[in-house]
Structure formats: C-alpha cells, structure tokens
Amino acid sequence: MTDLFSPGSEIVWRPTPDSVERSHLQRFMQQHGIASYAELQERSTQDVAWFTDAVLKYLDIQFRHPYSQVVDLSPGIQRPKWCVGGELNIVYNCVDKWAANRETRERKALVWEGEEGTTRSLTYGELSSEVNRCANALRSLGLGKGDGIGIHMPMTPEICIALLAIAKIGGVILPLFSGYGAAAIASRLSDARAKALFTADGLFRRGQVVPLKPVADQAISDVPSLKHVIVLSRCGNAVSTQPGRDHWWHELIPQQSSEAPLEPTSAEDVLMIIYTSGTTGKPKGAVHTHCSFPVKAAQDMAFGTDVQASEVIYWMTDMGWMMGPWLVFGATLLGGTCFVYDGAPDYPGPNRLWALVERHHIAVLGVSPTLIRSLIAHGEEPVRKHDLSSLRAFASTGEPWNPDPWMWLFDVVGRRQRPIINYSGGTEIAGGILMGNPVLPLKPTAFSAPCPGMAADVVDAEGHSVRGQVGELVIRAPWIGMTRGFWQDEQRYLETYWSRFENVWVHGDWAAVDEDGLWYILGRSDDTIKVAGKRIGPAEVESVLVNHPAVSEAAAVGVPHEIKGNEIVCFCILAPGFTGTDALRAELRSKVATEMGKPLQPGEIRFVFDLPKTRNAKVMRRIIRSAYLGQEPGDTSSLVNPEAVDQIRRSR
C-alpha cells in the first residue's frame, strides 16, 4: 500500500470543545442520551426506524398528514416503504414554513454571483414569492402532478426557483447538466416522458458565451412528449423561438401571482429522477421521493458539514450532478443560505474562488481534488490576498484525494485549523455513505466514519468483514435516502446493487478501515487493475505520479498483457514549465517501480492535455481504457470535455 492508505499515519486535525458543543451532531446525541459517536453509529444502524424518526423530528420535517409507520420492510430490504401513510410536499419545509415565520422571513435563503460580477440575493420571503410565481406559470401551461420537467440551465437563482417550483406543483424534477449535448438531453427527457423543459439562451464561461438554447432545440426535436420550453435570458445572445412552445421567463413568470397552493403529495410520491452514467450506453435514472433525497441531504449537511441556520454553504456544482439539488434542498431545509456561482472558478484569475469566499462570507466550501490540484500551480499568493475568516470548513466529494493536494488545502488555505470534510456516496444514496464530521478527528485523505444511519462495512471476496486491508464497500441496512430504484428498469437496479451478496448493497468502491477506525475510499472497484495476480487501485499509482513536480494530474488504467494478464498504462497532464520528454517518461516509470514495486512499473506513460471528466470533475477511467484500446466507450454523455477522448485515441 502507498500513503493513500497507510496504517499508522498521523491525525492532523482534532475538533475543539467549542466546535463539538455547537454542532448539530452533539445536540442530537445529547437529546437522546448518547455518549459517543460509536454508540450513535451502533444504535442508528441496528434500529433504523428509531433513527429515521429521530432525524425527521430533529430536522423539523413537518407532514400535512403524519406517517403511521416510519419504515415497512415487508417488501424486502431492496424495496422498503418509508413514512407510510404520510403526506408531505417537501417545499413546505424548504421554503413555505420559513417565509410564513416573521422571525425567519427576512433571512437570506439564496445568494448568487455571475462570472461577469453581477450579484443577487433572495430572502426566504422573496424566494417563496418567486417559487410561487414559477409554480403558477407551470400550472398555466397545463403542467401538474406527476409531469416530468427538465432543467437545463446555468447556475443562477432561476435554476433554484425552478427546482422548487416543480416540486411545489407535484411535478417530477429532471436535472440535466448544462454541458450536455443534444443526444444526452433527448435520451433523458424521452425516458422520463418529459412535458416541459427549463433552459436559457446561454451561459458565460471565461468571458465567452456558450449557447444553450440551440442545443435544447436540437434535443427537443426527438422528444414528442415535450410541449413547453421556458427560456431564461441570461446572456442576451440571439436565439430562435417557436410560437406556442417557447416562453421567455421574463414574460411568463413575473406576471403571475406571488401566492400559490402547495400540491398535496404523498411522502413517497416521486420528486426527482437523477440520471447517472453507466458502463453501457443507457444512463440510469435514480428515483427519489419527497421524503428521501431532501431528508438525507439535510441530515448529512447537518451532521457532517454542520451548517447552522443563516450560515452560507457553497458547493461547486452543476444542477445536473446530485450535489446541485443536494445543496438547495439541504440548505433550505436547515434554514441556511445557499450560495451559487455561474462561471469558471479561476476566471478572470486564480483568486476568484477565494474572492467569492471573502465577498459572500462563505462558511462551508465544497471543492473537488481536481480543482485544488489546478490551483496549486498558482502558488499561495492568490489565497493570501483574501480574508477567509468566515470559512469554517472545507468539504469534498466526487473522487479520492491524493495526499499532497489534500495537505496543501489543509496547510495553505486551512491554516491547519479548518477540517476537510471528505464525503463519499452517490446519486443512488442521496448523499453519503462515509463522511467527516465535527466531533471526530481526521487524517489526510480519510473519512472520520460512516454517516449516522449508514451500516457500512468493508468485505472480502466472500463477503466477510475485513479491517486493515482493502475490500469492497457495502451497506447492510436500508436508509431513508436510498433510491427507490431505476426508472423503468427494476431489474437493472437489483443487478447493480443487490446481486453480489444476499440482502447487502454493494456500492462498487474499494475501501479500507485503519487501526484508528478511520475510513478510506481507494477508487471504483471496477477500475481495479490486476497485474501478475496483484490487485491495485489506480489511485495508488496516480498518487505516486502527482507527487512528482512535473505532473499535475494523472490517470492509471489496466490493459491486457500476454504475460502479466494486465499492465498499467498512465496518462499524465504536465504542470506548467515541463515538457513531455522520453527522459521524463523513464523517470516517472522508475518512480512508480521504486515506490510500488517493480512488477507494477507502468508499461507506458502518455502525456495528454486533458483527461476525460464528468461535470463534477470525476476522471472516467473506463472511458480512458476503452479509448486507448480502440473499444466503444459506452455512455459518454456526462463528459464535460469529450475532446479528451479523441486525444487518447490518437495517442494509440
């Protein structure tokens, strides 16, 4: 093993007594007479009904009609029914109850900044009025309960308003990446039989206008069920409109009443379908309900990142990634302030992110390891020029950390005082399996523990629990946020998560637990490379490479080898000032051999300008491997940079 998971590595952060005492987690444990996190973890996973009921009450999730049973497991662990008999439209708890309360009505709900410098904020009272106008507009178009409505927009206040308005009328939210191509949009809208779509004329990236409406128009031509398109004028670029189908936001919505009824919905009515990429050509539509995704999001935001009422949380995300809805639902359920930014995080300079923190008093900042690796190249000066005193904690998800960038963020930006709340789960989880929290210590790249209520385990090939070694990450009990299945594809859901071990969810990640009880994610188990009988996670090899000053990013994949079964091939992005020479290739191969063992020396090192990534900065190794081998890569619709795939193909 490398330092990605090193038994005996040192704890670098411990919570202060004050931070523990102020935390949601500590208050929750005190309310229930629980003395330690270990005791909470045991009780929350052994008595799922008690824990879920306790969380719903702690979060003050108010039901129009109360549930008669927290969870019904009679259909099996794969298909539990939650909040049985309960009537709940989650928008009441996100917006309406705060707006109706004089003490919270003027609290900021949403703050926004655009790349061009424009800013805007909405109180809970103002957000309520805007959501109601949007809901009334949707109803005026004949849309209502059960109708699928897509969102393909830049990260503006309107995208948050649209998300909540769809839920308010009982519609089904279909979040789509703003960077999707027409085919990806069409396949998802068609699968859900969408009736309407929110889009925009364009968005700004690095000072340039990126058109959105033409892409949406092309997609809609293949979706016969879709009758209405609501278009936000974001950039002012010229777009074509179709009379009767297309409606400008500024013409349709402001004229509506600021009062709107809340559609009665069951707690288990479908709220949202979030599509994720699969290894085949068809994306998976994870189904979530009014009492699933938002509740899990708020639970994790409270117990992990510890967002308090009125605190500002910003997670760098697109609404098409689960962290977009997670941010909006979680922050508003907690009565916090959601910050959204529409633009590149390093434009017009590498200090833009830190300027946002200072200007908007951000308390919790969600980043990706990829972003931090890119900012390291600019040094400490962009960080030092800003007052980051509002910043209490970092958070991170989407991919495993390498130790060096983790320590740079912790040392340089965090001054060794701000924890990095590592967070790992997925769209189908509605949040996290593992997470840092404000009451437990941290080691570099590690997770403090499973999230409360998540019966996580690490198992060997036979399904037996293991510690101190790498194994499969599994979950042994249900949780309220779990997907209710894949849209119109029940068998695929069962095969994906429940077919390996009886009544055990197999998540598809390699994980490990060290001697101090801290957890590590080491990459996707389907990314594993087996060389001469030795199984290796690509993140271990990549950590060695990015530790070299010439390499800013790396991806390792396994390719067939007639003697060893597989050999490692690495793709590296060079840091500024370095050139991809044969001598550097030899040096990097030797470095991996020295640190990992000679049998694991890469067969090839390829230098590339970019690596194929999703919008949430996850490196798609299966696509890299397929492109290198000249095979069909499967679903590539989630890639933000498909040109990177062509470069890898050309490098063969």
CA–CA separation, 126 and 288 (whole Å)? 27
Task: Lowest mean pLDDT of 99-108, 443-452, 494-503, 589-598, name the range.
Answer: 589-598
Give the pLDDT confidence score for residue 537 in this predicted structure. 72
Please provide the DSSP assignment of 424-465 as one string: EEETTTTEEEEE--TTS-B-TT-B-EEPTT--EEEE-TTS-B
- The least confident of 108-122, 369-383, 444-458, 630-644 is 630-644
Structure tokens, 199: 């889009």
What pLDDT, in 10s, does the model give residues 258-311? 999 999 999 999 999 999 865 445 778 999 999 999 999 999 999 999 999 999
Flag whether 500 is in a domain.
yes
Are 255 and 296 members of one domain?
A: no
Q: How far apart are CA 506 and CA 500, in angstroms?
A: 7
Place of tokens 């290198």: 628
Task: Quote the CA–CA distance of 327 and 306 in Å, as a whole number.
Answer: 13
Within a domain: residue 591?
A: yes
In a domain, 265, yes or no: no
Region 467-486: mean pLDDT is: 96
Q: Quote the domain boundaries for residue 230.
A: 106-260
Q: Are residues 512 and 533 in the same domain?
A: no
Does 425 have pLDDT greater than 60?
A: yes
Same domain, 488 and 395: yes
Return phi, psi of residue 166, to 5°.
Answer: -60, -45
Please check whether residues 121 and 246 belong to one and the same domain.
Answer: yes
Whether residue 578 is found in the same domain as residue 505 = no
Asked if the structure places residue 559 within a domain, the reply is yes
The pLDDT, as a whole number, for residue 564 is: 73
Is residue 150 within 8 A of residue 227, CB to CB? The reply is no
Last residue of a domain, one of 478, 502, 524: 524
Task: Please determine, for residue 8, whether its predicted confidence score (pLDDT) is greater than 60.
Answer: no
Q: Is residue 72 part of a domain?
A: no
Specify whether 454 is located in the same domain as 495. yes
- Which residues, 6 or more positions from 521, have their beta carbon under 8 angstroms from its beta carbon? 400, 424, 434, 447, 473, 509, 510, 511
| Cα–Cα distance, 346 to 363 (Å, whole number) | 20
Which of 496, 511, 494 lies closest to 77 in space, CA to CA? 494
Query: What mean pLDDT do residues 367-374 have?
Result: 88
What is the pLDDT, as a whole number, of residue 283? 78
Distance (Å, rounded) from C-alpha 122 to C-alpha 226? 31
| 2 — pLDDT class (breaks 50, 70, 90) | very low
Determine which of 217-226, 244-253, 413-422, 622-631 has the lowest per-residue pLDDT on average: 622-631
Amino acid, res. 306 = D
Contact 327, 423 (CB under 8 A): no
Residues 494 and 407 in one domain: yes
C-alpha to C-alpha distance for 180 and 151, rounded to whole angstroms = 11
CB 368 within 8 Å of CB 617? yes
Q: Domain count of the chain? A: 3
Tens-digit pLDDT profile for residues 185-244? 898 999 999 999 999 999 999 999 999 999 999 999 989 999 999 999 999 999 999 999
List, in order, residues 6 or more apart from 214 with CB less than 8 Å away.
239, 240
| C-alpha–C-alpha distance, residues 488 and 503, integer Å | 22
Question: Residue 577: CB partners within 8 Å, gap ≥ 6?
Answer: none
CA distances for 96 relative to 20, 86, 218, 264, angstroms: 31, 18, 37, 14
Within 10 A of 562 (CB to CB), how many other CB atoms are there? 6
Residue-wise pLDDT tens digits, 150-178: 999 999 999 999 999 999 999 999 999 89
Question: Which residues of 242-396 form beta strands (DSSP E)?
Answer: 246-248, 270-276, 284-289, 312-315, 337-342, 364-367, 393-396
pLDDT of residue 616: 63
Q: Please indicate, yes or no, if residue 306 is contained in any of the structural domains.
A: yes
Are residues 604 and 616 part of one domain?
yes
Residue 321 contacts residue 327 (beta carbons within 8 Å):
no
Give 480's pLDDT tier (boundaries 50, 70, 90): very high
CATH code, domain with 144:
3.40.50.980
pLDDT tens digits for 386-411?
999 999 999 999 778 889 999 999 99
**Cis peptide bond upstream of 348, omega within 30:** yes
Nearest to 166 by CA among 141, 191, 201, 200: 141
Domain presence at residue 536:
yes
Supply 382's token pair.
């962009």
Mean pLDDT confidence for 114-133: 98
CA neighbours closer than 13 Å in the CB half-sphere of residue 118:
11
Segment 19-43 mean pLDDT: 97
| Global confidence as pTM | 0.87
| Mean residue pLDDT across the chain | 93
Percent of the chain whose pLDDT exceeds 70: 96
**CATH number where 610 lies:** 3.30.300.30
Contact 184, 639 (CB under 8 A): no
Residues 493 and 514 in one domain: yes
Identify the pLDDT of residue 6.
56
The confidence band for 595, taking pLDDT boundaries of 50, 70 and 90, is: confident
CATH of the domain at 46: 3.40.50.12780
Total Cβ atoms within 10 A of residue 304: 28
Task: Among 493, 524, 555, identify where a domain stops.
Answer: 524
User: Is the pLDDT assigned to residue 481 strictly greater than 80?
Assistant: yes
pLDDT exceeds 60 at position 571 = yes
pLDDT of residue 280: 44
Cβ contact 80:505 at 8 Å:
no
Sign of CA dihedral 99, 142, 235, 256: negative
Same domain, 178 and 249: yes
Residue that is last in its domain, among 260, 278, 312: 260
59-63, 267-271, 624-628: range with lowest mean pLDDT: 624-628
SS3 351: coil
pLDDT at 115: 97
Residues 373 and 478 in one domain: yes
Residue 12 lies in a domain: no
pLDDT band at 615 (very low <50, low <70, confident <90, very high): low
Judge contact between 627 and 633, C-beta under 8 A.
Answer: yes
Q: Do 242 and 363 share a domain, yes or no?
A: no
- What's the per-residue H, E or C state across 218-262? HHHCCCCCCCEEEEECCCCCCCCCCCCCEEEHHHHCCCCCCCCCC
Could you tell me which of 95, 164, 83 has the C-alpha nearest to residue 124?
Answer: 95
